[in-house]
Structure 1
Amino acid sequence: MPFAIKQATYLIIGIAVAFFIRNKSIIRIPTFWKILYLISIVLLIGVLIPGIGVVRNGSQSWIPLGFMNFQPAELAKIAVLGLLATALANDKKPKKVVYFQSAILLLLPISLIMLQPDFGSAFVLVVAVFFLLFAAGLSIKFFMAIGAVGIIGFIALIVSAPYRLVRIQAFLDPWKDPLGSGFQAIQSLLAIGPAGLFGFGYGNSRQKFLYLPEPQNDFIFSILLEETGFIGGLIVIIAFLTFFTTSFMMAAKTKTRDAQLMIIAFTSLLTVQTFLNMGVVTGLLPVTGVTLPFISYGGSSLVMTWIIIGIIFNLANTSINEGRR
C-alpha cells in the first residue's frame, strides 16, 4: 500500500480517536492513568521478546498489528506523563517524597525503552518530565541536582554504547566519514542547502530518491525544506509555535491543577520532540531517530499525537466548564 494511503488511514484513525476521547471524563481519573501505565509497561516488556517485537534499523521497538506496526514507547510517553501529572496534582505527601516516587515511575519505562534501544524516545520523555516537574513547583536546587544527574547519565549512556559515540563524532564532523556515520546528516544538509527561499516545488525533491535515508520519517523536514524552501519551513515552524503557545495559554487558563499539569506535560512532549527533530535535520543536534509530530510517516506516532490533541482539548474544555459553575 502506498505511503500516502497508509498515512491518510492513520490520520483518519487518529482524528477519530481524538474526537472520541475529547469528551470522556475518564481522562481525569487517576486510576485510568495507573492502568494505562501498567499496560504500557507490559507492552514495553513484550516488544523485547523475540517473535513479538520487530527489529528495524537496529531497534526492537515495534509490535506488528497487521495494518500497522505499533510502537509501545509512544503509548508509554502518554501514560507516564498522565500518571505523573495526576500524582503531582493530587498527592498530599511531602514534595520530596512525590519527586522520589516520580523518579521511580519514570525509571522503569525509560530502562525498558533504552533496552530496545530507543534513545530518542527516552530523551524526549525525560525532558518532558523535567518540564512537568518544574511546572509542578520543583525548586531550582532540586532541578539543578536532577539536571546534573541527568547529564552524568547521558554521558554514561554515550560512553557505554559505541554507536552513540559514533553518532556524536558524526555530529561534530560528518565529513570525516561521509559514506558511513556522517552520511545521513550530510544528505540532509544537501537537501536543505540548495533549496533557497522557495525550494524546488512540491514533489520535486531529489534527495528522497535513494539519497537521504528515512526521507518519509525522521528526515521528512529535510524534504519539506528542499521542496518549499526557507519560506515553507518558516511557515511550518510558525504553525508549530502557534500551536504550542496556544496550548500553554490554555494550560494557564485552566482552573484545576491536574488539568493544568497534564496540558503542560503533553504540550512539552510535542514541543521537545518537534524541535529535537528539526535540530537533527538541520545539523544542530546529533541524529536521534525522532519523528516530527503531525508530519512524519508512521502509524504509532501520528495516532498518538492526535490522541494527545484530544486529551488537551478534553482537559481544557472540562476545566473551563468547571470554572463556570
Structure 2
Amino acid sequence: MIVFLSSVFFLSVIGIFFVHSAGSYWSEVHYKDSLPFAFKQASYLGVGILGALFIRNKQFVRLPMFWNGLYIISILLLIGVMIPGVGVVRNGSQSWISLGFMNFQPAELAKIAVLGKIAFSLSNEHKKKGIIYLKCALFLLIPISLIMIQPDFGSAFVLVVAAFFLLFAAGLPMKFFISIGLSGIIALILLIVSAPYRLVRIQAFLDPWQDPLGSGFQAIQSLLAIGPAGLFGFGYGNSRQKFLYLPEPQNDFIFSILLEETGFLGGLIVISAFVLFFTIGFSLAIRAKKRAGGFIIIGFISLLTVQTFLNMGVVTGLLPVTGVTLPFISYGGSSLVTTWGIIGVIWNLSSE
C-alpha cells in the first residue's frame, strides 16, 4: 500500500509542477499572475488527501446503502446541471456547476457512484444473474444518457469501458459482450453521424492538416510540442506551445507540455508511475477479502486506466480529440478531489 500511495502522490506533485509550467503564461495573460493555477491545484490536492484520509477508516463505504445514495445524488446533479442558471457552459458543453470558489463536474461523481452501485449488484450471488445483468445495464444507461445530453462524450466513453471491465471480471458470458459490443458500435456510429462536431473530430483525427487552423488545430499543436522534444526535452518551464499555441495547456493537453519539456525519458517516467499504480491497484482487487470490495477496486482502477491511456492517446495523435483529463496531473478541482476520493475508497476496501 505504501508504494501504491507513493505513486499517486508522486503523480499529483508532478501535476502541480506542470500545471504551473503549462499554465503560467495563460495565467499571466488572463489573470495577470503566474501562480493561480498551481496554487489552486495544490489546494485541491490538499483537500483530496484530507478526503482520502477521512474515507480511509469509514465503514459507510462498505455498505450498499451508501452507494445507492451516492448514485441517486449523482443522477440528481446530472439533471441539475442541465437547468439554465445552474449549469455552466464551457467549450460547448453544459457539464459544470459553479460553486463559487470552483466549478464542479457532476460526471466525475457519477463515474464513481455508478461503478460502486454496479459492483455491489454483481456481488449479490443469491439473486438470479439475468436480473442482475439487466439492473446493471439500467444503472449504467441512465447516467450515460444524461452525460451524453450535456454533451460529454469523453466521460461517457470512459465510464462505459470501465463498466465493461468490471462486468468482464464478474464473469458475464461472452455472448453478452458480443451483443452489447455490436449495439455499442451501431450507437457510436449514430452518435457520430447525428452530431456534426463529432464527425469533424473524426475527420481531423484522420487528417488534421485538412483544417490546421480549425478542427485540426489542437492535434497539430500537440504534435508540434511532442515531436521536437527528443530524448530529454527543452527543460522544465521552457515549453513553446504554452504561449497560447496550445489552448488551455494546463488541462486536457498537459501531457503534451510535459513531453515537450522532459522529452521521451520524462514521459517514460510518468507512464511507468501510472503502470505501477495500475498494477498494484489490480493486485489489491485480487487480494480483497470481500467480493463487493474487490469489484469496486477493479471498477475504479479500470476507470483511471481507461482515462489515462485515452488522454495519452489523444495528445499523441493516436486517438481523436476528446475532452478527458489526465488523472492526478491535469488541472481541475473536481477531477483531482474525486480521484483522491477513489484512492481513499481503495485504501479502505483493501484493508477489509
* TM-score, structure 2 normalization: 0.89
Stretches of structure 2 that go unaligned for 5 or more consecutive residues are 1-34
Structure 2 residue aligned with 1:101: 135
- Map 1:28-43; keep pairs closer than 5 Å: 28-43=62-77
Question: Could you tell me which residue of structure 1 aligns to residue 13 of structure 2?
Answer: none
Aligned-pair CA distance for 1:56: 0.5
Tell me, yes or no, if the aligned pair for 1:184 and 1:212 is still in contact at 8 Å: yes
> Which residue matches 1:204?
238
1:171 to 194, 201, 205: 205
Specify the SS of the correspondent of 1:191.
helix
1:92 Cα offset (Å): 2.4
Aligned-partner Cα distance in 2 for 1:138–1:273:
23
Secondary structure of the structure 2 residue equivalent to 1:317: coil
Structure 1 unpaired stretches of 5+: 319-325
Partner of 2:11: none
Q: Distance in 1 between matches of 2:212 and 2:126?
A: 55
Distance 1:96 1:149 in 2: 18
What residue in structure 2 maps to residue 251 of structure 1? 285
SS in 2 for 1:61: strand
Between the aligned partners of 1:293 and 1:18, the Cα distance in structure 2 is 15
Cross-structure match for 2:48: 14
Coordinate RMSD, CA, aligned:
0.8
Residue deviations 1:230-269, cap 9 Å, x none?
0000000000000000000111111110011000000000
- Pair 1:233-2:251 in alignment: no
- Aligned 1:219-298 pairs, distance under 5 A: 219-298=253-332
Q: How many aligned positions are there? A: 318
State the distance in 1 between where 2:57 and 2:277 align. 20
Q: Show the counterpart of 1:189.
A: 223
Partner residue, 2:9: none
Q: Give the 5 Å matches for 1:36-55.
A: 36-55=70-89
CA-CA distance at 1:145 after TM superposition: 1.2
Bigger mean CA offset, 98-107 vs 261-270: 98-107
Letter matched to residue 158 of structure 1: I
State the shift of 1:91 in Å: 5.0
- 1:143 positional shift: 1.3
Consecutive aligned runs of 4 or more in structure 1 exceeding 4 Å deviation: none
Letter in structure 2 aligned against 1:260? G
2:62 maps to a residue whose letter is R
Mean alpha-carbon deviation: is it higher for 32-41 or for 96-105? 96-105
Letter in 2 for 1:183: F
CA distance in 1, matches of 2:61, 2:182: 33
* Identity across the alignment (%): 76
> Which amino acid letter does the alignment assign opposite residue 76 of structure 1?
A
3-state DSSP class of the match of 2:351? Answer: helix
Q: Distance in 2 between matches of 1:295 and 1:80?
A: 24
Distance 1:117 1:141 in 2: 30
Deviation of 1:301 after TM superposition, in Å, equals 0.4
* Cross-structure match for 1:72: 106
1:153 to 183, 187, 198: 187
Q: Deviations over 1:203-223 (max 9, x none)?
A: 110101100012000000000
Give secondary structure in 1 for the equivalent of 2:54: helix
Corresponding residue for 1:316? Answer: 350
Matched residues in 2 for 1:229 and 1:296: separation?
Answer: 18
**Aligned counterparts of 1:281 and 1:127: Cα–Cα separation in 2:** 20
Instruction: Give the AA of the match of 1:290.
Output: V
Q: State whether residues 199 and 227 of structure 1, in contact with CA within 8 Å, keep that contact through their aligned partners in structure 2.
A: yes
The whole-number CA distance in structure 1 between the counterparts of 2:349 and 2:204 is 42
Contact 1:187 1:211 in 2 (8 A): yes
Which amino acid in structure 1 is aligned with residue 339 of structure 2? T
- 1:73 maps to amino acid: A
1:4: which partner in 2?
Answer: 38
Residue of structure 2 equivalent to 1:84? 118
Alignment of 1:114-125 (within 5 A): 114-125=148-159
Paired residue secondary structure (2:179):
helix
Distance in 1 between residues matched to 2:124 and 2:347, nearest whole Å: 21
Q: Residue type of the partner of 1:200?
A: F
One-letter amino acid of the structure 2 residue matched with residue 137 of structure 1: G
d(CA) in 2 for partners of 1:273 and 1:77?
11
- Name the structure 2 match of 1:322: none
Q: Helix, strand or coil: the match of 2:83?
A: coil
Aligned-partner Cα distance in 2 for 1:311–1:30: 13
1:97 deviation in Å? 1.4
Opposite residue 138 of structure 1, the aligned amino acid is L
Asked if 2 retains the 8 angstrom alpha-carbon contact of 1:91 and 1:98, the reply is no
